[in-house]
Amino acid sequence: MPFKTRLKALYPEAIAETTNRQIQDLVDSYTSSIPSARHELSQADIVLICYADHVQSTGLSPLQTLWRFLESHVAGAINSVHILPFYPYSSDDGFSVIDYCQVDPNAGAWQDIMELAKNYRLMFDAVINHISQESSWFQGYLAGDEQFADYFVACPAEQDNLAVVRPRTLPLLTTFTTASGQEKHIWTTFSADQVDLNYRNPAVLLAVLEVLLFYLAQGARLLRLDAIAFLWKEPGTSCIHLPQTHEVIKLVRAVLSAVAPATIIITETNVPHEENVSYFGNGNDEAHLVYNFTLPPLLAHSMIQGNSTKLTNWAQSLSLPSDQVCFFNFTASHDGVGLRPVEGILTSGEITSLADTAQAHGGFVSFKRNEDDSQSPYELNCNYMDLLTDPNASDSLRVKRLLVSQAIMLAMPGVPGIYFHSLVGSSNDVEGVKRSGRYRSINREKLDYETLMSELQDDGSIRDQVFSALKSLLQIRKSDSAFHPFGGFEFPGLGDEVFAAVRLAPDKNRTVIAIHNLTDRDVTVTPQTNSRSFTDLVSGQELALSEITLRPYQFMWLVVGEK
């Protein structure tokens, strides 16, 4: 096992040798308690992204209520669930973790997680760049506990950190006072309550590896490495995407694979596309899945403009380093729509226009601090349906535009993730922003289970229209081998009003041409194939035409030459 090779890239020889032995002991201690069977990804793998308490009901814990919703409404359409951080936390809706190995009692208990794991493949968050200042680790550090003496990154106040890439406008260093009265300037990339861990200390690496193995023992089959690009700190550098960070991820993969080969690692790096895909490594040694962060803002731009040119050009540039990795495609999440991933694809004017649209539709814009101390838009905080279409528009138009965006996401090569509020047709939670004072609350609303059920069962309501149509699309996608995450893909340019994706099953015996009208008018296209016989998977309609006309915002998934 290549543990030592990775460790030698991080630490001196003697420390690498000792740490290697400690990791091997850790691996041996978990091997018998974690299933080792492999799971081969397929088109049936569709992930629901949700908080543990997205739906709540009287008499049940939020996790039990989530299980109730899944079993009664999405079983058969979705086989995997990404439960956003469900650990005790002090801020940021879970991403400031107090205790990695406990379930927030307000959400439920480990038994609830284990019950969910019986029927669904679970993705856990590994929030391992930072930890809450209320954690026992950081409190031990402040108290002078030798165990935690080097767990965090203390810097001289005068240290030049101008080169450090900043994802927020908040200060990079936060001043804390130890129990002995000493002031420490501690690295806090994201907020004063999210204290960065010091991976220069191998004890930190070992502690984190034990947490990850514990997650596997509790039912995790996918691990999302949150904010992983910022993991390693090196004075005088940008402190993002450093070689040591990649080595740590490769080590994590090697360790987890030694215990549970079925484990899938997914990296969360909200950065420009070329930087993002670097986390695939050589295609066999780093992330199995990489979040496709460019898709949400670029798709929103294309929908708003009614023009697919830049989306098609970008899609045509997509490539993968091996047939063992793929993208994790999504449009909405608990965070906003990141704008850094479209740097170099959209002009600054187009990015500003997208931000203006978000604000005009009731959303907000978050900013980051640049190296020259200026600020620039970092993230759109807006429900995705409201970003695409003015909330004052008709329900019919809002539903059509959301559905075509989700159809495009589902047709992209890779594994799809659909956010809870997109699935159930939610809108901006402006009141939630007022209560919390945080822009990201706009798409994190907690819903009453009984109220949600009533709205989903209200024939013709916007929730019913969205939910019913998306469930149908999910069923279609999961049943068709052409959408296999490791299948072939092409993006023919069929005009700037249409986005087209050709998907090819791994055995090359089945082809689907997915065409999507991004405009409010009829569009006629000629699929680039010798066949003139198609079946539309969406409508079930059989077609024998050389030209196909799409109504406004209509999409077709055409099987070539067969029913």
pLDDT mean values, one per 10 residues, the chain (563 residues): 88 97 95 77 97 96 98 94 98 96 98 96 98 98 97 90 85 95 96 97 98 96 97 94 98 96 95 96 97 98 98 97 96 94 96 96 88 80 98 98 98 98 97 94 96 95 97 97 96 96 94 97 89 89 88 96 55
CA distance 420 to 264: 22
Q: What is the pLDDT of residue 37?
A: 66
28 assigned to active site: no
Q: What is the pLDDT of residue 563?
A: 39
Q: 488-560 adopts what CATH topology?
A: Immunoglobulin-like (2.60.40)
- Asked whether 11 and 202 are in contact (CB, 8 A), the reply is yes
C-alpha to C-alpha distances, 220 to 43, 80, 89, 234, 284, nearest whole angstrom: 20, 10, 19, 32, 21
Catalytic residue among 45, 125, 226, 429: 226
Q: What is the pLDDT of residue 562?
A: 54
Residues 6+ apart with CB under 8 A from 183: 175, 176, 177
CA distance 353 to 390: 14
Q: What is the pLDDT of residue 376?
A: 81
CA distance 172 to 368: 12
Domain ranges of the chain: 488-560
Helix (H) or strand (E) holding 556, with range, is: strand 555-560
CA distance 301 to 305: 6
Q: What is the pLDDT of residue 456?
A: 96
Residue 162 class from Cβ within 10 Å (0-12 exposed, 13-18 middle, 19+ buried)?
exposed
Per-residue pLDDT tens over the stretch 373-419: 677 888 999 999 999 999 999 999 999 999 999 999 999 999 999 99
Query: What's the whole-model pTM score?
Result: 0.96
